[in-house]
Structure 1
Amino acid sequence: MSHTIRNKDKLLARIRRLKGQMEAVERALDDAKPCGEVLQLLASVRGALSGLTGEVMQEHLHEHVVHAENEDERARAAEDLAQVLKTYIR
């Protein structure tokens, strides 16, 4: 079973919180809230998204690199993670 499926409820709960935070940003913009308030909301969204991404990356590393069934799987998973990190840090 995929670790994302095994942790599905936990990950979906994080996504629902992110949706709520994005809706708060939208409301703040609709209500013409001060820039500082909008920026604070955006920082919260960014932090929550980084946390979600980090959790999935950590699980991937643990499941597919550390506990890989064989060297081919380990190499493939490490390369997948390297590509994701390359995209993530841009």
Structure 2
Amino acid sequence: MPHSAEDKRRAITRLNRIRGQADALARAVEAGTDCAPILQQLAAMRGAVHGLMADLLDSHLRETMAKQPAPSQADIEEMLALLRSYLK
């Protein structure tokens, strides 16, 4: 979760952009648009979601690593679980 005001603003901006892409995709499907542009839009949405996930993961890892001189075993396990879920 982004904690600074700037990080929150940036995350909300990205989420709004993703929502706009999803709305445009729904309109395209309803209109019977050809598959190629729909697939292209889906790829753009996937990239936007992955970018947001990477930013949030980066923020979380930096925060976890900064809170103590060395991360605990539990912190390491949590980070690994996050990375595994991100890489699926």
Instruction: Normalising by structure 1, report the TM-score.
Output: 0.84
Matched residue count: 85
User: Offset at 1:69?
Assistant: 2.2
1:25 aligns with 2:25: yes
Instruction: Normalising by structure 2, report the TM-score.
Output: 0.85
In the TM superposition, what are the counterparts of 1:2-81 in structure 2 within 5 Å?
4-6=2-4, 7-65=7-65, 67-71=66-70, 74-75=71-72, 76-81=74-79
* Unaligned segments of structure 1, at least 5 residues: none
- 2: CA distance, partners of 1:81 / 1:18: 26
Q: Quick check: 38-47 or 56-65, which moved more?
A: 56-65
Write out the 4+ residue segments of structure 1 that deviate beyond 4 Å after TM superposition: none
User: Offset at 1:63?
Assistant: 1.6
Higher relative contact order (CA 8 A, sep 6+): 2
Amino acid at match of 2:83: L
